[in-house]
Chains A and B, each alone.
Chain A
Amino acid sequence: MKSIILAALALAGAAALPAEAAEGDTVKAIRARGELLCGVSTGVSTGMSTLDNQGNWKGMEVEFCRGLAAAILGDASKVKFVPLEFRVAFTTLQSGAADILARTATWSYSRDASLNLDWAGVYMYDGQGFMVAKKLGAKSGKDLNGASICVSAGTTSELNLADYFRSNGMKYTVITGSTREQNQQSLESGRCDAYSNERGGLAASRTAMKNPDDWVILPDVFSKEPLGPTLRQDDARFRDIVAWTLNIIIAAEEFGVTKANVAEQAASSTNPEVQRMLGKTGEFGKMLGMEQDWAVKVIAATGNYGELYERNLGSGSPIKLDRGLNSLWSKGGLLYSPPFR
């Protein structure tokens, strides 16, 4: 009964007409408010949005919002983080109580088409995989025929898992849990042979294991989970600003611009594209209604993509997730910024 009420509520929320705003209104509202409202997780998204010992927000998505605040308001600290449970995240964005969601939301056709939402790009290419005990000896997902597999109930992960085994003509037993820690405990205690989730989540779970070295994430990636900043569909100008904030962060890695050297590069880089991006030549800030040096402020706040990733998810963090698809296009990954021209 409870779930029926919740479903009805969610439908009512999704069906209600979203707040229509005119072009550019979002930025105007943010500037008038003096604060960016950034929807994040309720502190449970390891590496993306969590709370530190002092109660400050940290994580890759958190830092992306800080970079966006630096872009729009010139100050990375002018962000108000709105903690949102997944169930209320999209409707909260639609109602205008958040300007942007940076909340590990997968970009998919049906969400983009029917929820009046837009994704302004992808800051993390995640995908579903398996984690197994090293001593199981499995080398790939194909070795898991007949295995029992832990997965979160009612998620797309559960559906992807079924697709994967059906398309490979293999059998498996599903053991559903309700949370990531529950699945992790089940795997650790041997209730299941493998745990299937997004690889980012698997890496976090592996860190949480008693002995992380006993566990291995198999190389298979059998779903696409592109995570990116989620916006309302009504403001193309705001979408451009968010998309180019992300592009600046990616391009900065390509050009070797870092948090530490961005001021120096802005003053003395001889690369014409860097000069345009950092505002030394041309009027690229004005075209988007931004300050001339907005890219400098973004990079000074977040660093380039490589720094952002390694600090929160990669080698500089306890999670130690390899870059994989989240490498630059020139290094075999998918990260690619259109040119600054």
Chain B
Amino acid sequence: MTAVVNSSRVERSPAIAQLRRRLAWARANLFARPIDVLLTSTIAAAAVALLWAIVPWAFIDAVWVGENRAACRPDAACWAFIVNRGGQFLYGFYPQPERWRVNAVFLIFAVSVFLLLRRDTPGKRVVAFFLLLVFPILGYVLLHGGVAGLSRVTTDKWGGLSLTLLLGVAGIVVSFPIAIVLALGRQSEMPLFRWASIAYIEICRGLPLIAVLFMARILLPYAFPVGSEFDPLALAVTGIILFESAYLAEVFRGGFQAIPKGQAEAAAAIGFGYWRTAIYVTLPQMLRVVVPGVVNNAIALVKNTTLVVILGLFEVLNIVAAGAADPDWLGLHAEGYVFVGLVFWGLCFAMSRYSQSLERELKAAERS
């Protein structure tokens, strides 16, 4: 009788049942043997100690508002530095009233990528065409201005996180079609096309990006008459595309090789030529396989963009480093680098999560 009353009371409070389940799980997984108890409590103690050290510095005592370093406390984080310079860290020297243009470009990019990767978007081909061929030009026109009533914003004004993203997006979007051509070329049966592709890939892949950027800064001006000016951003984007397309081409080659030979043979059997086989049979399957490789490259590329400081461009890392050398905010490197670290980690983590969900979706599509 009592047992029945007890169990019915438990059923009536699901919270207690859940707590019990959790305790049981903890007992089984965390405290099963003495060694488990020791390990669990050591790790928990270390985590608490770490939080104890970080939380007061980063949150409780931190200063969020201030005009310069005088407002900060020596023993706590000074996020006022980041808050005060937030606009500069995001947009570089892009004039304040024009910053909507930067936002617009990234919004257009995000929406078209979203549409392209959603499974049931109608007219995906149009979106892909737009993203690969129209968007780079539209984006440049919007950012640079000088037409259609938009004021001109020269590229030396671009900077901060938006420049980092711009270099990453331009690097991937423009390299994508080039890399597909190179990957096809590398497997082509036409010797000239094949040799040219192999030579390009091997040369560009063998060079460190930093060396390419140094060459652009130091050697290029000697090859042209005195006084010819080079747009550092154009040099940076060109260098990154040279470098990135070679890397992506190898990822795509791996994708092509992962497709069973029978696919191409079956296509040939029903009378498909080279291009039709590529467009309808091998390319779509290849693109499905290479998602992790492309994302991996994109993550590496985003981090490589910090090297463009060689060309005098201030992407997010270097604009923050410059901020911490300003006499007004001197010495706030910890705050600056924590911020940059979080930004880069956030970007890369988002990309990696996205690629995982995409892979799951593609797998589901394959099964159906």
Contact = CB atoms under 8 A, between A and B. Distances in A.
Interface of A: 2, 5-6, 9-10, 12-13, 16-17, 19, 21, 29, 42-47, 50-55, 58, 80, 82-85, 87-88, 91-92, 95-97, 181, 184, 204-205, 207-211, 317-319
Contacts of B211: 2, 5-6, 9
B331 A181 contact: yes
A13 B322 contact: no
Contacts of A16: 219, 222
B214 A88 contact: yes
A207 B322 contact: no
Given A21-B226, A96-B226, A209 B331 contact: yes
Contacts, number: 123
5 contacts: A43-B318, A96-B221, A207-B327, A211-B74, A318-B330
Interface of B: 69, 74-75, 84-85, 88, 92-93, 156, 208, 210-211, 214-215, 217-219, 221-222, 226-227, 229-230, 309-310, 312, 314, 318-319, 321-328, 330-331, 333
A10 B214 CA distance: 9
A50 B214 contact: no
B327 A46 contact: yes
Given A50-B322, A53-B88, A83-B312, A318 B218 contact: no
B69 A318 contact: yes
A29 B227 CA distance: 8
A88 B330 contact: no
Contacts of A318: 69, 327-328, 330
B217 A92 contact: yes
Contacts of B215: 9
A50 B314 contact: no
B226 A181 contact: no
A208 B331 contact: yes
Contacts of A211: 74
Contact of A181 (B314, B328, B333): B333
Contacts of B214: 6, 9, 87-88
Majority DSSP secondary structure for residues of B touching A: helix
B217 A88 contact: yes
Contacts of B93: 55
A21 B217 CA distance: 20
A51 B330 contact: no
A174 B331 CA distance: 23
Nearest to A33: B227
A9 B88 CA distance: 33
Contacts of A9: 211, 214-215, 218-219
A181 B227 contact: no
Q: What 8 pairs across the A-B complex have the smallest Cβ distances?
A: A208-B331, A43-B322, A95-B221, A210-B74, A83-B312, A13-B218, A55-B93, A19-B226
Contacts of B219: 9, 12-13, 16
B122 to A, nearest CB: 44
Given A2-B211, A46-B325, A208 B330 contact: yes
B186 to A, nearest CB: 25
A319 B227 CA distance: 38
B309 A42 contact: yes
Contacts of A43: 314, 318-319, 321-323, 325-326
B310 A85 contact: yes
A13 to B, nearest CB: 4
Nearest to A319: B327
B322 A181 contact: no
A185 B46 CA distance: 24
Contact of A97 (B229, B321, B323): B229
Given A88-B214, A318-B69, A50 B222 contact: no
A6 B218 CA distance: 11
Nearest to B336: A181
Contact of A2 (B208, B230, B314, B328): B208
A265 B188 CA distance: 79
A136 B100 CA distance: 55
B32 to A, nearest CB: 41
Nearest to B226: A19
A280 to B, nearest CB: 37
A254 B333 CA distance: 39
B312 A42 contact: yes
Nearest to A211: B74
Contacts of A44: 321-322, 325
B153 to A, nearest CB: 13
Contacts of A29: 227
Given A13-B219, A42-B318, A96-B227, 9 more contacts: A43-B319, A50-B325, A58-B326, A83-B312, A85-B309, A88-B310, A181-B324, A181-B331, A181-B333
Contacts of A19: 222, 226
Nearest to A55: B93
A99 to B, nearest CB: 11
B84 to A, nearest CB: 6
A55 B330 CA distance: 16
Contacts of B310: 85, 87-88
B208 A50 contact: no
A83 B314 contact: yes
Contact of B322 (A2, A42, A92, A184): A42
Nearest to B329: A53
Contacts of A12: 218-219
Contacts of B333: 181
Given A2-B211, A42-B309, A84-B312, A50 B327 contact: yes
Contacts of B156: 80
Contacts of A317: 327
A126 B92 CA distance: 32
A101 to B, nearest CB: 13
Contact of A184 (B85, B226, B318, B331): B331
Given A16-B222, A29-B227, A55-B93, A47 B327 contact: yes
Contacts of A85: 309-310, 312
Given A91-B218, A95-B221, A51 B322 contact: yes
Contacts of B74: 210-211
